[in-house]
Structure 1
Amino acid sequence: MTEAAGWWTGLALCAGLAGCAAGPRYGAPATELPERFDQATPAETAPATLWTGFGSAELDGLIARALAANTTIAQVAARLEETRALSGLTRFSLLPTVTGEGGAERRQQSARDPAVPGGGAARDSFRAGFDAAWEIDLFGGLRRESAVIRRRVEADAAALEAARVSITAETAQAWFALRGARARLALHGRQLDNADGNLQILRAKLEAGSATALDVARAETLARSIAAALPAAEAELVRQEQRLAVLTAWPVAALRERLAADATLPVLPALATTGTPAEWLRRRPDIREAERRLAAATADIGVQVADYFPHVELLGSFGWTAGTRRELGSETAERWSYGPTLTWRFLDLGRVRQRVRAASARADGALAAYHDTVLRALEETENALAGFRTAHQAAAELERAVTAAVEAARLARLRFDAGVTDYLAVLDAERSHLDLEDRHVEAQTRRATALAAIYKSLVFQVPDVRLKRSAASRERK
């Protein structure tokens, strides 16, 4: 066989082997899901504007600020940029590496060195050229490495989307809770004013002889119990302000300047529950992230399996070495070499086997994590739907109960003023009325936060507001 024929045979063999890929083929896992959500209400329809459907410019502004400045989103975005940079780096591993070199030196050997005949004279040496190396990806190890990082990029992109959805929902929930705390604080304030007014009236009646000291003591007990509830409502208001400050990356003082003093909760839009769980959960970025991390872990098995086989590199160099600068570039000063090299760590296959086992175990863990993510997503969605449904029912019943309690308190007051009953009946009616009003506000708040949880679980789209780049990032650009 001639030298040329040998080279062509080798190249054909390389081309054939290059189609091989080490490791298992990846297929997206199947997960059994119910045909419908257990807690869904089929008659409900989707809101037209999703997160902006609450009709609050204040909430819209807070969400936009959180999406642009939240530090959690910034961390996830930075990890995505890092992974993308590494992905660009792995593409170069499939290409030849070329290194240029050049140098000049003046050297004198020992005149007494028997290994250097004619030593003792100083000589100049000049060199210039380049070296090239190209690893032939015969068994797919390099391509698997590229696939690993590419799938990690996709996973990190899904993680960023999940962070945006989560921060949007948390901002809405904190704002609803803040409005609820304000509503309860305002309610308790009105109740306290009313109770103090009744107490003053009873004291006047006591002096006039138309009320008893027991009536006054009972009225004061009610007033002080209402006053005791104020600090808890104030503390809840502070907690939600602090939460919004963290989510929006605003100082609390700056946040308070942007928040209106309004204590009303917005009118809630209709809820969408149409579609199967598989259709809705497929939208969730956390599930896509888990699936992409499983794909990356599967590809990493191939990276390790490729070490079972030899690694082949094509090496070459070309340049000049001469005693004077003028001789550089001349034909007589040329030097070159080329040829393949094969390395095979056949005595190290035990370590390779253990790395393959470790990679397989990581893939098994990623598969379990994927199924766990799906199950938790289904659990989260069902709980959110149930929370909204029960809070909605409770709010509706409590609204009717408050109306009845107002009438009962009015009638009890009339009977007391007419001398038919003592003040205990009035006290019981007012205490029931106050408790029902407080529970009604709490149920309204829970209904609003539960709707935000549903939006998060079913991944309604978030506003298209991008993260503000840091100064360092802008400088790199």
Structure 2
Amino acid sequence: MNKRVLIPLTILSLASQIACTPTRVGDQVALNSPASWHHAPTAQTAETADLKTWWQGFGDPLLNELIDKALAANHDLKIATARVREANAMVTVAEAALYPSLDFSLSGGREKRIDRIVGVPSGQGIKLITPTADAVSGGLAARWETDLFGGRHLEAEAAAAQAEGSKEGLHAAQVGLLAQVATNYLELRGVQQRTGILQSNIALQRERLRTLQVFHKAGLANEADIARQQTLLHGTEAALPVLANAGQKLIHRLGVLLGEPPENLEQRLAFAGPLPKQAPAMPNLLPADLLAQRPDLRLAQTEVSAAAASLGSARADLYPKLVLSASGGLGALAVGGFPSLADSVYALGTGLSAPIFNAGRIRAHIAAADARLDQVATNYEKTFLLALEDVENAFVAHRSATDSLGQLTAAETSAEKAYRLVDALYQRGVGDYLAVLDAQRSKLAVSDERTKAETAAGVAMVSIYRAFGGGWMFDSAINKASIW
């Protein structure tokens, strides 16, 4: 090849590999992060919170087992994992455009055409015939579009950012799943504990009704007292199927979260278990730490990176494109009874194209990509504000629940003391049996409220860990290392 042609091509080829990317767009979004939390607990424990396995802080083996099963079999996680595989495959597709393509071809055939007439000697002179031609050819063809202005590299970067986003989507699904399993489990235990309290209350009210009926026969109570007690008893009994319905729904929901038919867990969870008596330590993270910990924020950041790379790739379409091609092979042709022809063939070429007129298509594509970048950047800012709101709301809910729990625990202690005093008077013969039953009923009512507050406090702690993005890790099928 002429050196005057070969040297410029070589320079262009090298430049395409070392050239900068003049169309690259920055993907940094400035976020105004507060220095501290407004509603965080003032007293932090010395215990270090484990964000990775925070649910183990409840000290409930059955909860740990349910979460392990959910992580292994939940359908949302399986769908998210498949999306990660799909996105990783698309990265390979995008990166393949950076390299030359090499194709092998082989063709052959036989043809007889009317426009191919030859004359051959014969006993009667020259005879015109249409011979049959056999042709065979094969070889290799290479083509490479050199990435002079980085458009292909930016397309690959956009695909890689989208793949990272799919991983963050998997992490977000894990965070949500853990919170749902723990929340439903705690609420189930709360409902079961309240059901036991309600059953004790019903038995107590039945005893009070029986006592009133005895007193009525002795002339110590009237029918109005019995009617009022019957009304109270029926109203209390009406709450029992409501709690049973709530418990069944929670069991069914846990079954779906664990990837099982809803009824599979009924035998395992139908027995009344206690609420966990301990809770995980309070996380001690700053607002800025959310950017690294919350998967939805990490996902929003990858969307910004992908949009910025796509914008740069769209801008690269304004510049010329250089294509290098080469092909070579062997070909053979045999016509009639003539000697066959065979020879090697090759071709080397370059092509340069540049946009001149396209009715504004490229500019419109750039404008659309720029608008997309503005959208995802604004969404990133909004997602951060929502994350801050999420954490602050979780802190407020936890403080409210723990304050209520403290007051109701004190009230339960007072109700227990009142019951013992009334019972002591009755045992000495100076008190009324109905007063003893009323004191028991008051104590059970306070115990029911205290159970609701205890459940709310546990659920609020779960919400705090969910708000901080606790519990996610790379799936072993994607990456063996756990990443924070």
For normalisation by structure 1, the TM-score amounts to 0.88
Given that residues 291 and 298 in structure 2 are in contact (C-alpha distance below 8 angstroms), is that contact kept between their aligned partners in structure 1? Answer: no
Match of 2:80 in 1: 76
Q: Deviations over 1:320-354 (max 9, x none)?
A: 211259xxxx9960111111112233211610110
Asked if residue 6 in structure 1 is aligned to residue 10 in structure 2, the reply is no
Secondary structure at the aligned position of 1:30 is classed as coil
Match of 2:96 in 1: 92
Secondary structure at the aligned position of 2:358 is classed as helix
Match of 1:308 in 2: 318
Distance in 2, matches of 1:364 and 1:197, equals 70
Asked if residue 150 in structure 1 is aligned to residue 160 in structure 2, the reply is yes
Match of 1:337 in 2: 347
Distance change >3 Å, CA 62–CA 270, structure 1 → 2:
closer
Which is further off, 121-130 or 251-260? 251-260
Given that residues 287 and 374 in structure 1 are in contact (C-alpha distance below 8 angstroms), is that contact kept between their aligned partners in structure 2? Answer: yes
Distance change >3 Å, CA 231–CA 369, structure 1 → 2:
same
Q: Deviations over 1:356-406 (max 9, x none)?
A: 111111111111111111111111111111111110111111011122233
- Give the 5 Å matches for 1:404-419: 404-409=414-419
Distance in 2, matches of 1:6 and 1:174, equals 73
- Give the 5 Å matches for 1:330-409: 333-348=343-358, 350-409=360-419
Given that residues 27 and 308 in structure 2 are in contact (C-alpha distance below 8 angstroms), is that contact kept between their aligned partners in structure 1? Answer: no
Secondary structure at the aligned position of 1:40 is classed as coil
- Counterpart of 2:269 (choices 250, 259, 262) is 259
- Counterpart of 1:123 (choices 125, 130, 133) is 133
Distance change >3 Å, CA 167–CA 14, structure 1 → 2:
same
- Counterpart of 2:107 (choices 59, 80, 103) is 103
Distance change >3 Å, CA 467–CA 63, structure 1 → 2:
farther
Asked if residue 224 in structure 1 is aligned to residue 234 in structure 2, the reply is yes
Match of 1:53 in 2: 57
Distance change >3 Å, CA 253–CA 273, structure 1 → 2:
closer
What's the offset of the Cα at 1:11?
2.7
Amino acid in the other structure paired with 2:152? L
Given that residues 422 and 439 in structure 2 are in contact (C-alpha distance below 8 angstroms), is that contact kept between their aligned partners in structure 1? Answer: yes
Match of 2:219 in 1: 209
Given that residues 74 and 467 in structure 1 are in contact (C-alpha distance below 8 angstroms), is that contact kept between their aligned partners in structure 2? Answer: no
Q: Deviations over 1:86-112 (max 9, x none)?
A: 111222111111111112211112058
Match of 2:35 in 1: 35
Given that residues 290 and 297 in structure 2 are in contact (C-alpha distance below 8 angstroms), is that contact kept between their aligned partners in structure 1? Answer: no
Distance change >3 Å, CA 226–CA 200, structure 1 → 2:
same
What's the offset of the Cα at 1:460?
2.7
Q: Deviations over 1:204-251 (max 9, x none)?
A: 111112223232222222212211111211111011111101100112
Distance in 2, matches of 1:70 and 1:153, equals 21
For normalisation by structure 2, the TM-score amounts to 0.87
RMSD: 2.9
What's the offset of the Cα at 1:76?
0.9
Distance in 2, matches of 1:465 and 1:369, equals 27
Amino acid in the other structure paired with 1:124? D
Which is further off, 430-439 or 209-218? 430-439
Amino acid in the other structure paired with 1:213? E
Distance in 1, matches of 2:341 and 2:415, equals 107
How many equivalent residue pairs?
459
Match of 2:15 in 1: 16
What's the offset of the Cα at 1:13?
3.8
Given that residues 251 and 269 in structure 2 are in contact (C-alpha distance below 8 angstroms), is that contact kept between their aligned partners in structure 1? Answer: no
Distance in 2, matches of 1:333 and 1:410, equals 112
What's the offset of the Cα at 1:467?
7.9
Distance in 1, matches of 2:432 and 2:311, equals 83
Whichever structure has more helix as a proportion of its residues is: 1
Distance in 2, matches of 1:50 and 1:226, equals 38
Secondary structure at the aligned position of 1:129 is classed as strand
What's the offset of the Cα at 1:268?
2.5
Given that residues 108 and 121 in structure 1 are in contact (C-alpha distance below 8 angstroms), is that contact kept between their aligned partners in structure 2? Answer: yes
Distance change >3 Å, CA 105–CA 143, structure 1 → 2:
same
Match of 1:473 in 2: none
Amino acid in the other structure paired with 2:348? Y
Match of 2:199 in 1: 189
Amino acid in the other structure paired with 1:458? F
Q: Deviations over 1:129-188 (max 9, x none)?
A: 111111101111110110001011111111111111110111000100111111111111
Given that residues 68 and 465 in structure 1 are in contact (C-alpha distance below 8 angstroms), is that contact kept between their aligned partners in structure 2? Answer: no
Distance change >3 Å, CA 204–CA 254, structure 1 → 2:
same
Given that residues 175 and 240 in structure 1 are in contact (C-alpha distance below 8 angstroms), is that contact kept between their aligned partners in structure 2? Answer: yes
Match of 2:248 in 1: 238
Secondary structure at the aligned position of 1:333 is classed as strand
Gaps of 5+ in 2: 119-127, 479-484
- Counterpart of 2:68 (choices 64, 67, 84) is 64
Amino acid in the other structure paired with 1:211? A
Which is further off, 405-414 or 276-285? 405-414
Which is further off, 425-434 or 147-156? 425-434
Distance change >3 Å, CA 304–CA 343, structure 1 → 2:
same
Secondary structure at the aligned position of 1:295 is classed as helix
Match of 1:297 in 2: 307
Amino acid in the other structure paired with 1:133? R
Secondary structure at the aligned position of 2:72 is classed as helix
Given that residues 51 and 463 in structure 1 are in contact (C-alpha distance below 8 angstroms), is that contact kept between their aligned partners in structure 2? Answer: no
Amino acid in the other structure paired with 2:299? E
